[in-house]
Structures are given as C-alpha cells and as structure tokens.
Amino acid sequence: MNTAAANRTIELKNNGSGATPGYFARRNLWDWLFAAILMAGAVWAFLQYDHAMNGYEKAILIGAVPSMIWLGWFWRPLRLLSVVVGALALLAIWLYQTPEGAADLARADQAFLLKYFISSQSAILWMSVLFFMSTIFYWVGMLTRAGEAFESLGSRMAWVAVTLALVGTMVRWYESHQIGPDIGHIPVSNLYEVFVLFCWMTTLFYLYYEDQYKTRSMGAFSMLVVSAAVGFLLWYTLVREAHAIQPLVPALQSWWMKVHVPANFVGYGTFAIAAMLAFAYLIKQSASETRWYKLAPLWLLGIVLCLEPLVFRQSALEKGGSYWFVYFGISALVVAAILFGRRRIAERLPSFEVLDDVMYKAIAVGFAFFTIATVLGALWAAEAWGGYWSWDPKETWALIVWLNYAAWLHMRLMKGLRGTVAAWWALVGLAITTFAFLGVNMFLSGLHSYGEL
C-alpha cells in the first residue's frame, strides 16, 4: 500500500465515513472559550450600561456578539486582540473610578497607567509612535540583508499599535459619556477620530493579508499610507487641538453614524492598501530601468509628497511650519530610498501575481463595504434631511468613487484587467477617494462639512 492510500485509510478510520468534520466540530477549546468571554462581556455591558443605551444600540450590541465570535473563529489572531483590548479598556475604566464609586476624568493626570499609557490620548499617542516605528522597521527589513528579523519586529509593532488604537477609541468613548450625558458618542464623528479609525482598520486589513499570504514584504508600502495618516493626525492635533472631545452637531446625533462611518472606512482603508500595493507593483516592474521617464511612479510620489502641504490653508501652514519642514525632509528620504534601493526592493517584494491578487481582493472588499456605506448614508440622509439623495458635493464624489471601483472590478472580472493598467488605475482611484474624503471638506461646502481643516 502506498503512502497516499495509507493516509486515506487512517483518515477513514478517524472520521468514520471519511466526511469532513462540520464547522462547529472543527472548533477547539480556545474558540469556545473566546465565545464564552464575548457573551459574558455582552451580558455585563447590558447590566452595567443598560440605562445609557437606546433600542438601536442594544440591537447593535446583540448583533456584534455573533459577528465578533465569527470573526475570531475566521481569523484567530483577532481572539487575542479582542481580549487584550477589552481587558485594557476595562482597566482604564476602573482606574477612572474614585473610592466613592464615581468617575473622575481628572485621574487621567494622576493615575500612572492612565497618564502614560491607557487614557485615550496617551494610547493614541503611543499608537502614533508605534505606527511610525513599524513602518521604519518594515523599510529597514526591505533594504537590508537581515530583512525577515526587522520585518517581524515591524509586524509586531503594528499589532501593538492596533491594540492601543482600539484601547484609545474605547476609552475615549467612555470619557465622552463622563463629560456629559448629551456629549457621549462613539468616536467616529470628526477628522481626528476617523483618522484613528482609518489607521487601525487599514493596518488590521493589511495584517490579515500578511498572514494569509505568508509574506511581510508588503508591509513597507502598506504602512507608508498609515504613517502618512498618522502624520496628518498629529498635524491636525497641533493646529486644531482636535483631540478635545466635543459635543455632536445635531445632524450627527443619530445611530446611523455608528454603522455608516465604519463601513465607509473599511472601503477607504482597503482602497489605500490596494493603491500602495499597486505602487509596489510599478516599482518592481521598473526596478531595472535607468531612463528617467520610465520611473514615473517615483516622480509621481515625490510630486505628491512635496505638494501635499500646499493644499492646506496658509494659516494652518504657518501654525505647523516646523512640522512641515520635518515632513519635507522625511518625504525626500523616502523617495530617495525607493529610488536608489529599487532593485533590492523588487527582489524582496512578492511576485507580481501575489501583488495583483491582494490588490484585487482589497478593492473587492472595499467596494462591498463602500456600497453598504453608501446605502446606509442614503437612509441616514432620508431621516436627517428628508431625502435619500441631494447631490451634495460629498454625495456626488462618493458616487464618483463608487463608479470608479465598479468600473475597475467590471474590467477585472469581464475583461481580465491585470498588470500595469490595473495598478495605475488603483493609484488614480486612491487620488479620487482622497479628494472625496478630504478634498471636499477643504474646497467644497455642503451638508457634510463637519470636518473642516
């Protein structure tokens, strides 16, 4: 009997009929323990915060439990992430309590752990530092011979940064409720809060692809866009003191915000990953080129990085002058490193097929969630303004984004779009998406002008 036949015989003995075990039969002890912890946490949340939740919020909490259990079973690293984030957030809430049992936000400057680690602002600042460090380690790994060790450090730092970003988000949510019952809200209501959301969500999607494709060499490019978002977040905090918790404007006082905004940012995050991997694809393709006009992706990156500050208002530039000076220096180093190290980078990057496949899957996921977000936004608009669609600038540009990626996917699935054209199209898509997200707020006014620069 050959080896294959012997293995088949053993399999038949173990499984009886030889059938594949069912979905629940494949769950191990840690899977069920994770499910039990989530259900216990949901029960505790109902008992503790029932008075602060309306019917919609209770329904969301109930729906979140099986969703989180399924996600933890689907991708097991999420189990540890969820448990650690929950434990640290609860620790922060406990540290805010006074001996009398009331919450005191002044303890954020008194309790050691709150002051330096797990108050919302401390956690988000640590998040920012760790995302920068993660990006640096990914690039050191990309450009040196000890690549795998440095990329492993970059990946671990990215995981810690995501953890602290989520802790900061959870604790900020709690802090907003302690300021006043009419101020408390999920922290996805302004540019500061949604940039934190973008950073951890984009990184988490990248880490999933990193795990699925068993390669960390995509991290250098994927984390560049996260670091750029962190850079904007720090600048915005500097010139606007945006970290301060503010009450919601009337139009945002809706439960629709809790589902519309996160769904939108799944789209933004995955579109950004696709664009950065498209950029990596083009760099790999032009690795051996010496003619300057064949290095168009690099020149484009340099132009975008150098001109980016000029789109902001003069007063904002004056307030953050030294910040932008550092920004220019770092941008020049990034472009120079890619230019002179492009051959080494091309060798370290995964194959064209892997880059193309991840780009496609990221756009497909982003398109699905962006579609859901657009439908939810229309329902929200009907409730807030009495109509599903009003051709507001934000709505118009959201439609342009949707049509762009719908066309990309159509060409991919119907016409076999691949390679250079697909990569350039993904980069153009990111430019369109960025204008829809930020440009509309800066240059156009409308019903959605809540996050002005």
Which has the closest alpha carbon to 202: 229, 169, 164?
229
Q: What is the reported pLDDT for 330? A: 78
pLDDT at 313 exceeding the cut of 80: no
Which has the closest alpha carbon to 204: 259, 242, 147, 155?
155
pLDDT at 453 exceeding the cut of 60: no
In the chain, the percentage of residues whose pLDDT exceeds 90 is 55
pLDDT at 295 exceeding the cut of 90: no
Tokens 């629709």, residue? 256
Q: Which residue has the higher pLDDT, 251 or 188?
A: 188
- Separation between Cα atoms, residue 128 and residue 226, nearest integer Å: 10
Highest mean pLDDT among 200-209, 234-243, 283-292, 298-307: 200-209
- Separation between Cα atoms, residue 268 and residue 357, nearest integer Å: 18
Per-residue pLDDT, averaged over 70-85, amounts to 96
Q: What is the reported pLDDT for 315? A: 47
Both tokens of 149, joined, read 């060790």
Using the 8-state DSSP alphabet, how is residue 21 labeled? P
Which has the closest alpha carbon to 425: 302, 271, 291?
271
Q: Which residue has the higher pLDDT, 431 or 167?
A: 167
- Separation between Cα atoms, residue 273 and residue 365, nearest integer Å: 11
Q: Which residue has the higher pLDDT, 369 or 388?
A: 369
Using one digit for the tens of pLDDT, what is the confidence trace for 159-182? 999 999 999 999 999 999 898 878
Using one digit for the tens of pLDDT, what is the confidence trace for 384-424? 778 888 888 888 999 999 999 999 999 999 999 998 899 99
Q: What is the reported pLDDT for 308? A: 58
Q: Mapped to the 3 state alphabet, what secondary structure does 103-156 carry? A: ECHHHHHCCHHHHHHHCHHHHHHHHHHHHHHHHHHHHHHHHCCCHHHHHHHHHH
For the whole model, what pTM was predicted? Answer: 0.90
Both tokens of 82, joined, read 């969820």
Give the dihedral sign, CA 330/336/339/341: negative
Q: What is the reported pLDDT for 154? A: 97
